[in-house]
Amino acid sequence: MSKIIDGLYYSESHEYVRVDGEFGYIGITDYAQHELGNVVYVDMPEVDDEVAAGEEFGAVESVKAASDLMSPVSGTVVEVNEALEDEPGLINKDAFENWIIKVELSDKGELDDLMDAEAYKAMIGE
């Protein structure tokens, strides 16, 4: 059974957003990392890049698949998780602890379009 954390926002493409003030930490869900298997590479945008809700911002590659990362919210990238460059498998250890990008949110209203933990559990059938 996948770990799902209350208080986060979830997208249909299996990304999450943890909101902290004006910032959002975006990563892939525990369910997504289980589906992908052993993560070997994370393609991330650069600091100061703009991301848009529903648009691709990078990719995660595992030994068995590659998956595009879709931004659940719009904003400006203020930080990337550089630890993932050297050790992408950290996502497999704890997908929620090892976020991929931190963005300054440009429209907090977009969060209303995402799922809460209960809705995400229902979507993945858990």
Which pLDDT tens digit goes with each residue over 38-67? 999 999 999 999 999 999 999 999 998 999
Let me know if residue 72 belongs to a domain: yes
- The 3-state DSSP class for residue 14 equals coil
Question: What is the C-alpha to C-alpha distance for residues 55 and 61, in angstroms, rounded to an integer?
Answer: 18
Let me know if residue 50 belongs to a domain: yes
* pTM for this entry: 0.97
Question: What is the C-alpha to C-alpha distance for residues 63 and 70, in angstroms, rounded to an integer?
Answer: 20
Let me know if residue 87 belongs to a domain: yes
Residue indicated by tokens 């997504």: 32
Which pLDDT tens digit goes with each residue over 14-43? 999 999 999 999 999 999 999 999 999 999
Let me know if residue 23 belongs to a domain: yes
Let me know if residue 19 belongs to a domain: yes
Quote the domain boundaries for residue 83: 9-115
- The 3-state DSSP class for residue 1 equals coil
The pair of structure tokens assigned to 15 is 């990304």
Give the type of residue at 110.
Answer: E
Let me know if residue 109 belongs to a domain: yes
- Number of domains the chain contains: 1
Tell me, what CATH number does 83's domain have?
2.40.50.100
